[in-house]
Structure 1
Amino acid sequence: MALTATGLGSGLDINNIVKVLVDAEKLPKEALFNRTEKDIESKISALGTLKSDIAKFQDALAKLQDPDSLNARSVSTGESKFLTATADKFATTGNYAITVEQLAKAHKVAGTHVTDPKQTVGEGSLDLEVNGKAFSVDIAADDDLYAIARKVNDHADNSGVTATIITSDSGSRLVFSSNESGSDSQVAVTATDTTGTGLNDMFGGANLETLQVAQNAVLTIDGQKVTSQTNEIKDAIQGVTLNLTAADVNETTTLSITSDKDAVKDNVKGFVDAYNALTSSIDKLSAYDMEKEEAAALQGDSMVRSLESQLRSMVSSRIETADGGSIALYDIGIKVDRNGKMEIDDTKLDANIANNMEGLEALFATPDTGLANRLDNLAEGYVKTGGLIDSKDTSLDSDKQRLDDQREVFARKMTMLESRLMKQFNAMDLLVGQLNAQSAGLADKLNSLPGVLG
């Protein structure tokens, strides 16, 4: 193996000299690359934080975009096992005495028992009807109960019947159930045989047994009788939906509906807190530390400045009301201080919640023009897929890729520089070595001349 040594001729540390020369050009550029990469990564991270904070702001806005959330009702049925209830903003506050006398039930009929559900029944058709809508199922000679049930359930024109095989101590039988409760949804079955009497023997006339009578729900509300095809009763009390779960004519449930002012205030406070959190995040991400002379990742970013400007403009605007007037946050007790943060005047807000719910709804939840809707549209433009933040991220990713390409090109350039310098210094070293050798030889010859003293 050939051995290569540098600096033997000149006595210079060529490796170190080359390293110093290469580093003199390489290190400043690499430091610039590193600073640029750190800046890009800081911006990407900051945009992720901003996007998350905007999404949290949208969560708070969602509770004010729905008019029902600004007219929340608290519903209580005590520990009743007979019903549950929900109420929307149109429900009138008050107490109601409710007695559930009867639950709505779906009609069920069944054919005769057989010892084996896999035995065939007959050949012909079954005509089924529910609430005036009929369909017909063809029965083949080799169809057992399973096949008949499958044909009924899968029929394209099935008008609301479910066929089920029930196996008990008495044997197996096919049960037809209405998919809807109430007296209007009774199941009618007509059997027609083309061969023999098998279908009629199982489903015809008296052979079809009623397992459950179709019945309506019956209840009284403050002594007034209400009949329903289902156990879900809507608007028997304005804005209220009742779901009946059990019946007892001797038991009365007290339904209490009150205005849930605390929930409304919590939603408004949630909006204020989320707005302040978002603006604080923007301040932090775009700040400049005078003492440390350090800029935050998004300091001076035009997108962030635009977002901040639009937010401030919107929260200071007035919203037109249906009566031709207008309302703003200040009118309900929310003001914006000199630092851009919201503050709540609890007394003023409580008064508006108690007496001006229409104004609150107009301010926040009016379609298109309501403050919560406008702010949400603004926020969505930033956080949606392909939105402003995504576009910024894409641009930064491109910058990072270009930086990686520049690093690669520069690294090749430094490798070539190092190789070139090594060749040049080695050539110089070789020449110096040769000159030194010639000088030493010449000195020896001069010293050997007559008359030259040693």
Structure 2
Amino acid sequence: MVSNNMDNSMRMTGFATGMDVESMVNQLMEAERQPLKRMEQDQKWLELQRDAYREANTKLSELDGEISNMQHSSTYLSKSTTSSDEGSVTATASNDAGTGNYSIEVNQLATAAVNSGAKDTFTNDFDPLEALSDQIDFTDLNGENYETQTVDFSYHNAEGEQPASFDVEEGDSLSDVFSKISDATNGDVRAFYDSGDNRVIMERTEAGDFNDGGNEMDLSAGFFGNVLGIDNAQETRGDKAEFNYNGITMQSNNNSYELNGVNFEFQSKTDGPTNVTVGNDVDAAMEQITGFIDKYNETIDYMNGKTNEEKNRDYPPLTERQTEEMTEREIELWQEKSQSGMLRSDSTIEMGVSSMRSSWYESVEGTGNEDIKSVLDVGITTSSNWRDNGKLEVDEAKLREKLQEDPEAVMNLFHNSSEGKERGITQRVEDSLDSMMNQITDRAGNEFQQLQQYTLGREMADMSERMTDFERRMQQAEQRYWDQFTRMEQAVQQANAQSSQLQQQLGGMM
């Protein structure tokens, strides 16, 4: 019995000796393969460690996102507003708005100028989406036959009178004309079709009186009068909003007005003064700060868990050959144990976490308030439970009190991009965080990097080369074993043949 190997040379498989040569070679190769098995496990361990580092960096990146939110002044200085009559006056306040009470009495709302064609300018079966030239006789348009006509008009805004024009072309529908009016005025004038009264309505999109009581739109005779049926004299002119602010009469071309960083919106006339109160939005600041600390504690808890996680040395990573002999549940349980402790006692993470902890307790100079120079001053302390490993606790009553008293000092405590002793808490924590993340990236890379661009990747690439070289040597060893057994088979076969021949000769002599 013979077998062909890859280079088609003949392999003797026990025909002469009666031995199971193939089984013997496989057993020999299994022994030869042990170093490769260890290399495969080492390669898998490198991959698992890389993935564990990257997962840690993802957690750190999430914390970094929370830090970014803490570095906006709106986190600490945002304002809230309340109105005694939300149906008439509402308000929003910028971070710089002055706190206190504002009295607003709305006497008149601002309105936009509007004009309309006469009722039944068009027939009941008129279709604004069909070509005008198929539905209307244009021979009287400017006294010329209808082909292409340029329509000129003007309107007023805060900058004064604005000229506008558009072309009406054969095949244009009324809807096309409306679009051209809007385009010609940058949306300052709009028109639409009133199918109930078969007429066109045109109006300014911005409320207010921009022409001192005169027409806001100059829609002279011609296309507007002859075709759309609009009479310039029928315009309902726009009005300004009129209101009293703390007893002072004021006007606005629209139904809003900004004073001292507060934007008032007028919804309707009022029967008397409406009181608007502007204050610091302590609830929003509390939510942001406590949310950040919760995320910080979650991150610290995760990192401490990874560096203290038990490493199960009796459960090395599985090779492909091993997984083929196991059930899915067995593989799952094994991997759970083998992946534990990948970052146990990792110095990069332990030192990074320690640096972040230290960042919280250094005093911050230049907050503007000598009573707010440390997180301790605003009610943030380290948990007294040693098992919490440096997690933070918040005295919400004290933090709320400090935010009400001096939100700007609290902001300077957390957020100040200066260097040295004036550097804010979040900047200091971020410095430690960035340093840790950069070190992890140098070691474990990210999804966009090639193997040669990070330390573990280079080790993995080197291991792959070693495994390839070993595989090549394994092929050579296997060929050597087959050659040896083949020669043995050939020798035995030759000896058997000689023995048979000798027996035949001896038998002939007797």
SS in structure 1 of the partner of residue 42 of structure 2: helix
Partner in structure 1 of residue 263 of structure 2: 241
Between 16-25 and 59-68, report the one with greater CA deviation: 59-68
CA offset at residue 408 of structure 1? 4.9
The unaligned stretches of length 5 or more in structure 1 are none
Matched AA of 1:60: E
Q: What does the per-residue CA deviation read over 1:339-396, in whole Å, with 9 as the maximum and x for residues that have no partner? A: 3332335565354334342321111133454333454576568779x97688455335
* Preserved contact between residue 382 and residue 393 of structure 2 (Cα < 8 Å): yes
Q: d(CA) in 1 for partners of 2:308 and 2:83?
A: 53
Q: What residue is the counterpart of 1:69 in the other structure? A: 75
What corresponds to 1:327 in structure 2?
373
CA separation of 1:104/1:308 partners in 2, compared to 1, >3 Å: closer, same or farther? same
Partner secondary structure for residue 327 of structure 1:
coil
Moved more, 420-429 or 322-331: 322-331
CA RMSD across the alignment:
4.2
Question: Among 213, 217, 231, which residue is 2:241 paired with?
Answer: 217
Residue aligning to 1:362: 412
Name which of 25, 29, 39 aligns with 1:32: 39
2:18 is paired with a residue whose SS is coil
Distance 2:247 2:443 in 1: 60
Kindly tell me: are residues 422 and 345 of structure 1, through their superposed partners in 2, closer, same or farther at Cα, counting changes over 3 Å?
Answer: same
Q: Which amino acid aligns with 2:359?
A: M
Confirm or deny: 8 A CA contact 2:54 2:445 kept in the other structure. Answer: no
Whether the 8 Å CA contact 1:133–1:159 is kept in 2: the answer is no
Aligned to 1:372: 426
Q: Aligned equivalents of 2:27 and 2:81: distance in 1?
A: 81
SS in 2 for 1:233: strand
State the alpha-carbon separation in 2 of the partners of residues 229 and 5 from structure 1. 103
1:29-428 counterparts in 2 under 5 A? 29-44=36-51, 46-77=52-83, 80-91=86-97, 94=100, 98-111=104-117, 113-115=121-123, 116=126, 118=132, 119=136, 120=138, 121-122=141-142, 123-131=149-157, 132-139=160-167, 142=170, 145-155=174-184, 158=185, 161-173=188-200, 175=202, 177-184=203-210, 187-189=216-218, 191=220, 197-198=222-223, 201=226, 206-207=231-232, 209-210=234-235, 212-221=236-245, 224-235=248-259, 238-244=260-266, 246-250=267-271, 253-287=274-308, 289=310, 296-299=341-344, 304=349, 307-308=352-353, 310-321=355-366, 323=368, 327-336=373-382, 339-346=389-396, 348-367=398-417, 369-373=423-427, 375-376=429-430, 379=433, 391-392=445-446, 394=449, 395=454, 396=456, 400=460, 403=463, 407-408=467-468, 410-428=470-488
Tell me if the contact between 1:383 and 1:390 (Cα under 8 Å) persists in the aligned partners.
Answer: no
Preserved CA contact (<8 Å) 2:111 2:207: yes
Q: What amino acid sits opposite 2:242 in the alignment? A: V
Change (3 A) 1:347 1:428: same
Q: 1:342 to 1:109 in 2, by over 3 A?
A: same
- In 2, Cα distance between equivalents of 1:379 and 1:391: 16
What displacement does 1:19 show?
1.0
Deviations 1:389-420 (A, max 9, x none): 88455335565566556545544543443233
Q: Is the 8 A contact 2:110 2:239 kept in 1?
A: yes
User: How far apart, CA to CA, are the structure 2 residues paired with 1:331 and 1:152?
Assistant: 62
Mapped partners of 1:383, 1:253: distance in 2: 53
Q: Is the 2:117–2:199 Cα contact (8 Å) retained in structure 1? A: no
Shift of 1:7: 1.9
Contact 2:210/2:216 (CA < 8 Å) preserved in 1? no
- Counterparts of 1:169 and 1:180 in 2: how far apart (Å)? 25
1:176-197 per-residue CA deviation (whole Å, 9 max, x = no partner) reads x3232222377332547xxxx5
Q: Is the 8 A contact 1:129 1:159 kept in 2?
A: no
**Shift in CA distance, 198/329, structure 1 to aligned 2, threshold 3 Å:** closer
Letter in 2 for 1:328: S
Equivalent-residue separation in structure 2 for 1:262 and 1:255 (angstroms): 19
CA contact (8 A) 2:151 2:223 kept: no
Preserved contact between residue 444 and residue 457 of structure 2 (Cα < 8 Å): no
Deviation at 1:135, TM superposition (A): 2.4
* Whole-angstrom CA distance in 2 between matches of 1:86 and 1:208: 39
8 Å CA contact 1:134–1:159 kept in 2: the answer is no
Query: Does structure 1 conserve the Cα–Cα contact (< 8 Å) formed by 2:60 and 2:437?
Result: yes
Contact map agreement 2:104 2:273 (CA 8 A) in 1: yes
How far apart, CA to CA, are the structure 2 residues paired with 1:392 and 1:147?
Answer: 54
Measured after TM superposition, the shift of residue 277 of structure 1 is 1.7
User: For 2:182, what is the secondary structure of its paired residue?
Assistant: helix
Per-residue CA deviation, residues 123-148 of structure 1 (Å, 9 max, x unaligned), is: 45413132214223154574664454
CA distance in 1, matches of 2:468, 2:84: 73
Conserved 8 A contact 2:54-2:446: no
Contact 1:18/1:422 (<8 A) preserved = yes
In 1, distance between residues paired with 2:264 and 2:443? Answer: 46
More strand by share: 1
So what's the TM-score if we normalise by structure 2?
Answer: 0.70
Give the letter for the 2:342 counterpart.
A
Residues 1:139 and 1:343: Cα distance change in structure 2 (over 3 Å): closer
- Offset, 1:288: 6.0
Question: Is the Cα contact below 8 Å between 1:114 and 1:173 reproduced in 2?
Answer: no
Amino acid at match of 1:344: V
Structure 2 distance, partners of 1:180, 1:249, is 22
The verdict on how the C-alpha distance between 1:374 and 1:365 changes in structure 2, with shifts beyond 3 A counting, is same
Letter in 2 for 1:279: I
Q: CA deviation at 1:431?
A: 0.9
> For residues 224 and 376 of structure 1, what CA distance do their matches in structure 2 show?
50
Q: Which amino acid is the alignment partner of residue 314 of structure 1?
A: S
Of the structure 1 ranges 273-282 and 81-90, higher mean CA displacement relative to structure 2 is found in 81-90
